[in-house]
């Protein structure tokens, strides 16, 4: 009874499928998990829900990640202490997407108020959403490693690299007046 199976009569694309899933969700928090990534911390959801429960100004909480290759071998650990503070996240966010999609947990109501994922942004839809959410409340990162992010030659963001760069430039242009260091970005 906790699960809802949905099948679309036609292809909607990643962003619209995510939007549909969130609209049907009944929980107050949403934690996406992309198909090739793995949550590596069994307590991830409980920790993030607890954080959001006790920090009403927070609209999103995330953690760090370990990058793995196609056979699950660790390639890189990505984390920076400078990104724990909500003000520092806001300062850095326009320069790069420091919130891995599958490591995030956000408030469903904030997501709906922000308008969900924008289907124009095929590769950077999560980044656009984080920028909009950060205008509504604070974003946080904890010291926990929550995600094994898989990198392989068929990764969507690698295959669509030119599109990704184009979309990031459009996001910088769109949000440059709302964030510090718009010129540097």
Task: For residue range 142-157, list pLDDT tens digits in order.
Answer: 988 889 888 756 665 5
Dihedral sign from CA coordinates of 81, 87, 89, 95: negative
- Is the pLDDT at 158 greater than 60, yes or no? no
Whole-structure pTM value: 0.90
Helix, strand or coil for residue 177? Answer: coil
Helix, strand or coil for residue 77? Answer: strand
Tens digits of per-residue pLDDT, 53-94? Answer: 999 999 999 998 888 887 778 777 776 666 678 998 999 999
What is the pLDDT of the chain when averaged over all its residues?
Answer: 89
Cα 15 to Cα 11, 18, 20, 29, 101, distances in angstroms: 11, 5, 9, 18, 12
Cα 129 to Cα 81, 104, 149, 153, distances in angstroms: 23, 11, 19, 26
- Is the pLDDT at 102 greater than 60, yes or no? yes
């Amino acid at each position: 009874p906790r699960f809802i199976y949905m099948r679309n009569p036609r292809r909607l694309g990643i962003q619209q499928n995510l939007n549909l899933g969130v609209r049907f969700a009944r929980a107050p928090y949403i934690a996406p998990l992309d198909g090739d990534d793995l949550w590596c911390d069994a307590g991830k959801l409980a920790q993030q829900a607890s954080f959001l429960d006790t920090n009403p100004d927070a609209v999103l909480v995330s953690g760090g990640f370990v990058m793995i290759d196609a056979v699950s071998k660790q390639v890189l650990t990505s984390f920076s202490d400078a990104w724990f503070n909500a003000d520092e996240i806001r300062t850095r966010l326009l320069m790069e997407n420091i919130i891995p999609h599958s490591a995030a947990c956000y408030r469903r109501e904030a997501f709906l108020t922000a308008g969900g994922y924008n289907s124009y942004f095929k590769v950077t839809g999560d980044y656009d959403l984080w920028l909009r959410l950060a205008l509504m409340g604070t974003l946080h990162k904890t010291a926990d490693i929550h995600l094994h992010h898989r990198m392989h030659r068929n990764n969507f963001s690698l295959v669509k690299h030119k599109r990704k760069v184009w979309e990031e430039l459009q996001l910088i242009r769109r949000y440059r007046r709302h964030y510090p260091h718009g010129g540097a970005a």
